[in-house]
Amino acid sequence: MHVLDAAIADTRVLLGVGTLCYCLLVAYFTGQSRKLRHIPTTSPKAPLVSYLGAVRYVFSGKKFVEECLRKWPKSMFRAPDLVQWTVITTERDLVAELLRAPESTFSGRESNDELMQMKYTLGAPITANPYHFPIIRNKLRRSLPNLVPDIYEELILAFEKYLPVNDDWTPIKFADVIPKITCQASNRVLVGYPLCRDPDFMDLSVRFTFDIVTVAMILRSIPTFMRPLCNWLISSVPTQQRKAVKYIGPLIDARRKERELKGDDAQKPEDMITWLMDAATDEETTNEALSNRVLATFTHAIYYLASYPAYAQALREEVDMVVRNHGWSSLAIDSMVKVDSFIRESQRMNPLFNVGLSRLALKDYTFSDGTFIPRGTTVSANIHGPHFNDTTYENPSTFDPNRFIKRTQKDDSDSDSARARTTDITTTSNDFLAFGHGRHACPGRYFAASELKLLMAYVVAHYDLKFEKEGERPADWWIMASCLPNPKAEILFRKRSTE
């Protein structure tokens, strides 16, 4: 067995080196460079050398984007994204034009399938029949009021288990702890109790997401025709899917049996498995990207909170008051306006990626600024543009936890309804793209928002927290265009002082 493992490891290394060389050739032959000659870039354009630019883009994508923007503040530019050029647009109205274009012109789905290498990682059926989307969009959203107490129950247990602190300041590497907590809470909604508390199942779900992203990234960097073979050699996804079935299979069998025996009287726990069973077949892995997103977003927000402990007080007062009136309920969560604004501001400043919302051009297209995009090109939005536009946002580089509350009050005299409408984390617009916007806006954002607010409320209600140095947020990590909250940072936690 070990010999076999070693052999596979060797094969992987060889394959890696082989592919890299191959890529250089492919980059040379694609001819894509020629078609995009009219779009500027600071990256080396010559064949072969351009691959070095790609490597550089992986490790300092943020700097690259900034550099291009300094040179061409208004126009589109292109970035070398592994084996192809991606065209990036920053200007608000051009981003809006991209997101508004019909699917037959700029396809978000095809771009996403390519990005996640869906055909190989999750399998063609998932993309061909995305029936889980309406479930997330409708069922999950409608059930939220009933689910909040369940999620809260799970949070209490998880926090007590993974963040056990007393009255002394205790350093905690938050990025290690929080995946477990959110995973347990999300799994309550996905697979229900008791499976959500099974530590092995949790490990599996945390790893699964990570592996899909890694495999997709490797596959994307090699030529199309080599992907099936490479996927077969390197991917651990099928093994994990088999493992997941071992956990979830019996659960589904049991429920199916109950349905057969009792018919309409059968108990139907309110969770994703039930909905998927109702909707179609027993596919279980659809929601992982969603929980991953919740994770990183929350960690970003907590880092702001730990950098400025003074903000916690205002949030805490709001949470205490709201919970006194409504308990830990869905209504309470809807009433947490300050918590909402805090998280939304954190998302504005640190969306999980600065270049994204990619679309694949299915036909030639000319943007209103005259930029010509040939068919087959991927066009992405630089979210930083709209999020830091000083026409829309006053002092855009300053973290202002109440930004989205003030805005509403200024905007509209009918402030109560306006507040409900505009300060909500889930509202997307051309000026706020953290959850995307338009046709492909994230369907899981209602669930994500509830969970985020619940987590934030729980933390301020139960803990004091700070970084060693006040006001200093640990530097984010950037991989290509993704912005990760610093995984090494330690936060000091203690039990909330009772005055």
Ligand X SMILES: *[C@@H]1O[C@H](CO)[C@@H](O)[C@H](O)[C@H]1NC(C)=O
**Which residues sit in the known binding site for heme?**
442
Cβ nearer to ligand X, comparing 93 with 364 = 93
Which residues within the stretch 358-387 sit at the binding site for ligand X (CB under 6 A)?
385
Sheet of strand 170-173, all strands in order from the earlier edge strand to the far edge: 170-173, 490-495, 463-466
Adjacent-strand bridge partners of 247: none
Cβ proximity of 435 and 445 under 8 Å: yes
Cβ nearer to ligand X, comparing 67 with 490 = 67
Closest CB 388 distance from ligand X, rounded Å: 9
Concatenating the DSSP letter of every residue in 461-480 gives HHEEEE-SSTT-PPPPEEET
Closest CB 339 distance from ligand X, rounded Å: 27
The single residue among 389, 422, 426, 486 that binds ligand X, judged by CB under 6 A, is 389
- In the annotated binding site, the residues are 442
Closest CB 65 distance from ligand X, rounded Å: 13
Closest CB 390 distance from ligand X, rounded Å: 8
Closest CB 385 distance from ligand X, rounded Å: 5
CA 27, chain centre distance (Å)? 29
Measured distance CA(186)–CA(390) in Å, rounded? 36
Closest CB 396 distance from ligand X, rounded Å: 10
Cβ nearer to ligand X, comparing 85 with 393 = 393
Cβ nearer to ligand X, comparing 221 with 371 = 371
The single residue among 58, 84, 91, 404 that binds ligand X, judged by CB under 6 A, is 91
Cβ nearer to ligand X, comparing 80 with 356 = 356
Closest CA to 482 of 353, 360, 319: 353
Measured distance CA(150)–CA(157) in Å, rounded? 11
Measured distance CA(100)–CA(64) in Å, rounded? 27
Closest CB 136 distance from ligand X, rounded Å: 31
What 8-state DSSP symbol labels residue 196? G
Closest CB 95 distance from ligand X, rounded Å: 8
Cβ nearer to ligand X, comparing 60 with 389 = 389
Which residues within the stretch 299-358 sit at the binding site for ligand X (CB under 6 A)?
none
The single residue among 10, 66, 93, 278 that binds ligand X, judged by CB under 6 A, is 93
- Residue 82: φ, ψ to 5°: 55, -95
Where does residue 432 fall: left (phi above 0), alpha (psi -120 to 50 degrees), or beta otherwise? beta
Coil, helix or strand at residue 30 = coil
Asked if residue 474 has a cis previous peptide bond (ω within 30° of 0), the answer is no
Measured distance CA(134)–CA(139) in Å, rounded? 8
* H-assigned helices in 351-392: 384-387
Residue type (1 letter), 294 = V
Cβ nearer to ligand X, comparing 392 with 426 = 392
Coil, helix or strand at residue 227 = helix
Which residues lie closer than 8 Å to 147 by C-beta, 6 or more apart?
Answer: 188, 189, 270, 330, 450
Cβ nearer to ligand X, comparing 385 with 474 = 385
Closest CB 221 distance from ligand X, rounded Å: 31
Query: How many of the chain's residues bind ligand X (CB under 6 A)?
Result: 7
Angle of helix 199-220 versus helix 108-116 axis, rounded to 10: 110
Which residues within the stretch 390-449 sit at the binding site for ligand X (CB under 6 A)?
391-392
Cβ nearer to ligand X, comparing 391 with 498 = 391
Coil, helix or strand at residue 382 = strand
Which residues within the stretch 254-283 sit at the binding site for ligand X (CB under 6 A)?
none
Letters for 34-73 (x = contact with ligand X by CB under 6 A, - = none) are ----------------------------------------
Stretch that binds ligand X, among 47-55, 189-197, 324-332, 388-396 (CB under 6 A): 388-396
326 by Cβ neighbours in 10 Å (0-12 / 13-18 / 19+) ranks as: middle
Stretch that binds ligand X, among 86-94, 126-134, 414-422, 441-449 (CB under 6 A): 86-94
Stretch that binds ligand X, among 174-182, 316-324, 389-397, 420-428 (CB under 6 A): 389-397
Q: What are the residues binding ligand X (CB under 6 A)?
A: 91-93, 385, 389, 391-392
